[in-house]
Amino acid sequence: MQDRSMLVIALCVVIGILSIRNFKIRSECQYPAMMTAPLKGAMVISMAILVWVALTVGRSVFDVWLALMCGLYLFSVWTGRGIHERGIYYSPGRNLWLRCIPWENIQSIEIDLKNGLLVSFDSKKRPYTYTVRQNYSPQALDFLQEKVPSKIV
């Protein structure tokens, strides 16, 4: 039991450090991506499911802490996305690791001005389109149009 508790504490520390990294990225973003109502709802439901599983399946308070730390990490990934001085931070597909595509690697972007959405961007280094669907303020979309060749939808 003692070994399991130490493992859970170590996992909580690692997950906490990764969450701090994502929150640091958010604080350095010039234009952070906005959290929409459906995304906020999904985050609340995810946290509730994680805590419920920890309470019903878990054997100790450490399981609840681990579930809360995992929920915090999920939240930090979705809030860490944004427009940074180095490029655009995004979470690709179902991946839970923030990635940055530098400005010099972006060939073009697709913007939906009506919905305030960065839809996708094309990379110069890879032959496919990244679909990100990140919501931004009108000022952020104007900044993107000035910075990178844009296709308006």
Contact 117/78 with Cβ under 8 angstroms?
no
Angle between the 2-28 and 61-79 helix axes, to the nearest 10 degrees? 20
CB proximity list for 46: less than 8 A, separation 6 or greater: 71, 74
Contact 87/101 with Cβ under 8 angstroms?
yes
pTM assigned to the model = 0.85
Angle between the 37-57 and 61-79 helix axes, to the nearest 10 degrees? 160
The pLDDT value given to residue 4? 78
**Ramachandran sector of residue 55 (left: φ over 0; alpha: ψ -120 to 50; beta: rest):** alpha
The pLDDT value given to residue 32? 94
CB proximity list for 149: less than 8 A, separation 6 or greater: 107, 108, 109
**Ramachandran sector of residue 133 (left: φ over 0; alpha: ψ -120 to 50; beta: rest):** left
The pLDDT value given to residue 130? 85
The pLDDT value given to residue 18? 93
Q: Which residues of the chain have pLDDT under 70?
A: 1
The pLDDT value given to residue 1? 58
The pLDDT value given to residue 13? 92
The pLDDT value given to residue 59? 76
